[in-house]
Structure 1
Amino acid sequence: MFASTRRARVFASALAAFALLGTTACSSGPTAEADAATDAGYNLTADQNRITTEPVEEIAAKVPQDIRDRGTLVVTGSAGTVPPLRFYADDDATIIGSETDFAHLIGNVLDLDVELTAADWAQNFVRIDSGEADLFISNVTVTEERKEKYDFATYRLDSLAVEVKKDSGITFEGPEDIAGLKVGVGSGTNQEALLVEWNEQNIAAGLAPAEILYYQNAVDYYLALGSGRIDAYVGPNPTSAFHALQSGETEVAGTFSGAGLDLQGEIAVLTKKDNGLIEAINEAINHIIENGTYAQVLERWGITSEAIEVSRINPPGLPKTS
């Protein structure tokens, strides 16, 4: 009985199960969610009118010659993420969100066109390894293990959230609070590694084990959360905060650093190690921080709390688990 407009269909593909998390009143369907997002100031159309900046010749000159000759920066990222990070616009084809805005700003500084592509999480690393893509920009956390194969230039703090159904009574202040819960998480992510580590600690301390369930797409984990198949979902704080606001059916039970309790994690642009790109990327990010366009993107998508003061190359990352 939901209205089947193009805008509603696309927003539903990004936020997936919003309409199914609550009662099936027509006013709470995908169209209402899309209207709410638009009313809140989010542009969900293919015509993004992105924030732009001018090229900087001295930074652009540091890009490897083969990429400069090509004139295009190929950027890969996850296909199944949700607003406000990386999702599909109302034409079902254009990838939009804060992560794509940052990619385009970097391209502006480097005087390169940006080609956005999408793949499942693990496949993005394969694309970087093979040279099919130059950069992976999609909420990628710096980890010590990844630093062995890849170079990083940071652009955002990494905050994770524990999202639960509203009024569930679940709160999160530390690892012991996942004991006995069914917790959803994206497979292959750093939050998975943290959950596994915390679960092992809890079991060793005599607490009830958590059941960790794995998901790749928003449609799957929000359906599971809405139906009660899981008690909580752990994912990027921006997406959980956005979903909780727009759906009205969930809430954030707690937040923590993506690198764990003892280190503030950072989100970074990932590229193949020693391919000659990272210095130019790092300087491009610092340039947009200095000229204010970086802050404009954060404000545009409601993630100003994740701002950094300076981009760093290969900072300390999430420790290895073994």
Structure 2
Amino acid sequence: MKRSLLAIAALQLVGCGADPTATQNTSAELGGVNTSPEQNRVTTSRNEAAAALLPAKVRDRGTLVVGGTIGSPPLGFVADDNKTPIGIEIDLATLVASALGLKPDYQVTSWENLFVGLDSAKYDVGFANITVTEKRKQKYDFATYRKDDIAFEAKKGGDWKITGGKDVAGKTIAVGTGTNQEKILVDWDEENVKAGLPAASIKYFQSPSDTYLALSSGRIDAYFGPNPNVAYHVKVGGQTETIGKFSGAGATLQGLIAATTKKDSGLVKAYQAALNAVIADGSYAKVLARWNVANEAVGKSEINPPGLPKNKQK
């Protein structure tokens, strides 16, 4: 029970910052993953072709200023010292910086302020599980690096599976506010009500521990969140299971997560080249395998591919 409660307390929802006073799990409690501040990160070497695509001011500065969020294992959270950022997003940002011949300057912020920082050019790039959407493409450029999958998590042992919108009718489900999965869930609920099905009860919680305590007590039927978070919590906690998984861009399009930069900043081609370089040299695959998300790998990085349609997002 102790292990499960610690795992719950450590897990955060996408777009939320970690509580710096929270007790972090040991590596044993996080499925054997190294959560010490002394990370044995996967490394790569400078790729000259990618580095040559950088604007001179960034290349001369020698650093890549990365905006990101922490608090959601395994995407981004804090190590056992309660201050060192670790996780998939940090590792991939570090790889890209190295391929560009730059030192990563990872700056932790909130989900909302991440985009403010990109708009003002405070950050060169955002690595924070950011989904490509048609609306966001109006303001940002994207270089993709991972599939965007979202999943439902429920207590283990039930016979309820979610294969589509009708399966949430009459259920109580927690979701993160302002996320793509919230919009998908709301759209499903509206369609169900129009069809005469019972409405879902959509719940929002201030902290991940509140969400998972509600799930364990039966006050909610499921949590709908990013697949890496759900898969990680299922593995660590041992008391829940994934009951449905979907693309974050809807039923007709595979969603994609991308390195995000201010539109027309002149940086996106360098990010794409760096990502393709680390995909080719195998270091990218090692990072994803390290965090148990190898099934979300992409074969190449794309610039501004089709994303979640405007009529399916906020």
TM-score (norm: length of structure 2): 0.90
Contact 2:77-2:86 within 8 A present in 1 as well: yes
Q: Secondary structure at the match of 2:241?
A: strand
Question: Whole-Å Cα distance in 2 between the matches of residues 74 and 276 of structure 1?
Answer: 15
1:15 to 1, 11, 19: 11
CA positional deviation for 1:12: 6.6
Q: Secondary structure at the match of 2:112?
A: helix
CA positional deviation for 1:111: 0.9
1:175 to 165, 171, 175: 165
1:35 to 1, 4, 28: 28
5+ residue gaps, structure 1: 18-29
Q: Secondary structure at the match of 2:259?
A: strand
Within 5 Å, give how 1:235-250 maps onto structure 2.
Answer: 235-250=225-240
Larger mean Cα displacement after TM superposition, 265-274 or 168-177? 168-177
Contact 2:8-2:237 within 8 A present in 1 as well: no
Q: What is the percent sequence identity of the aligned residues?
A: 49
Contact 1:161-1:240 within 8 A present in 2 as well: yes
Question: Whole-Å Cα distance in 2 between the matches of residues 250 and 98 of structure 1?
Answer: 22
TM-score (norm: length of structure 1): 0.88
Question: Whole-Å Cα distance in 2 between the matches of residues 188 and 31 of structure 1?
Answer: 26
Q: Secondary structure at the match of 1:285?
A: helix
CA positional deviation for 1:315: 0.4
Q: CA-atom RMSD, angstroms?
A: 2.3
* Aligned residue in 2 for 1:66: 57
Contact 1:156-1:268 within 8 A present in 2 as well: yes
Deviations 1:233-280 (A, max 9, x none): 111111111101111111111111111111111111111110001000
Question: Whole-Å Cα distance in 1 between the matches of residues 294 and 148 of structure 2?
Answer: 12
Q: Which letter does structure 2 place at the counterpart of 1:53?
A: T
5+ residue gaps, structure 2: 14-22
Contact 1:64-1:277 within 8 A present in 2 as well: yes
Contact 1:33-1:246 within 8 A present in 2 as well: no
Q: Secondary structure at the match of 2:192?
A: helix
* Aligned residue in 2 for 1:122: 112
Distance 1:158 1:50, change over 3 A: same
CA positional deviation for 1:57: 2.0
Q: 4+ residue stretches of structure 1 with deviation over 4 A? A: 30-34
Within 5 Å, give how 1:6-155 maps onto structure 2.
Answer: 14-15=10-11, 34-37=27-30, 40-81=31-72, 83-155=73-145
* Aligned residue in 2 for 1:280: 270
Deviations 1:58-87 (A, max 9, x none): 211211222222221111122332x22111
Question: Whole-Å Cα distance in 2 between the matches of residues 158 and 286 of structure 1?
Answer: 18
1:312 corresponds to 2:302: yes
Distance 1:321 1:217, change over 3 A: farther
